[in-house]
Amino acid sequence: MNAQEHFFEFMETYTEFFESMVSVEKEKLEALLSFQLKKIEQAISAGQANAMKLENYEKKRMELQVQAGFAEATFQEIIDSIDGELKKVLENLLRRMNNAVQEIKFYNGKSMGLAKINLQSINDAVPSSARSEAQGYTSLKTQADAYKNTVSFETKI
């Protein structure tokens, strides 16, 4: 198998990974809607694991793409440079990948919106006197008023 064939085979696997991520994002949204903490924790863990896998897949894609001689080209540009039946196969692969990415974005956006609403509801349910005694940061990731003029570690390491 030559470098280009290896790259195209990998892209099939990469697309399948994106398609599997869609179900994980659906499960995350369903878990958030269920209000069952155990399901939410499992969904978040699965999402974090997928994020790490995605990073590894992307590194491998870049490496194989360079080895295949496509360096800085987009997948669409690669497809445009190919003729015949392989071009049709790769166009279908790109369509599947794009569809999966759009679904992931959709479900993730819904999940994030729901999580923000739930956090705001929790924040609103806490009496204002208790909020002023917050421990440094609010549920919305802002520094509590009582701690505005204190030294804090805000640098991400």
Using the 8-state DSSP alphabet, how is residue 135 labeled? S
C-alpha distances in Å from residue 101, one per residue of 67, 91, 105, 108, 117: 25, 15, 6, 10, 24
CB 100 within 8 A of CB 18: yes
Three-state DSSP state, 2: coil
The rounded distance, in Å, linking the Cα atoms of 118 and 136 is 20
Q: Could you tell me which of 19, 96, 4, 29 has the C-alpha nearest to residue 57?
A: 19
Neighbour-count burial of 49, counting CB atoms closer than 10 A to its CB (0-12 exposed, 13-18 middle, 19+ buried): exposed
Mean pLDDT of 138-145: 61
* 146: pLDDT strictly greater than 60: no
Confidence at 2, pLDDT banded by 50, 70, 90: very high
The 10s digit of each residue's pLDDT in 82-120 is 999 999 999 999 999 999 999 999 999 999 998 888 788
The rounded distance, in Å, linking the Cα atoms of 107 and 27 is 9
The 10s digit of each residue's pLDDT in 8-43 is 999 999 999 999 999 999 999 999 898 888 998 999
The rounded distance, in Å, linking the Cα atoms of 53 and 48 is 9
pLDDT of residue 98: 97
| pTM across the whole model | 0.75
- What are the tokens at 113? 């919106």
Residue 124's CB: how many other CB atoms inside 10 A?
Answer: 10
Q: Could you tell me which of 26, 21, 19, 30 has the C-alpha nearest to residue 48?
A: 21
* 128: pLDDT strictly greater than 90: no
Q: To the nearest whole number, what is the mean pLDDT of the chain?
A: 86
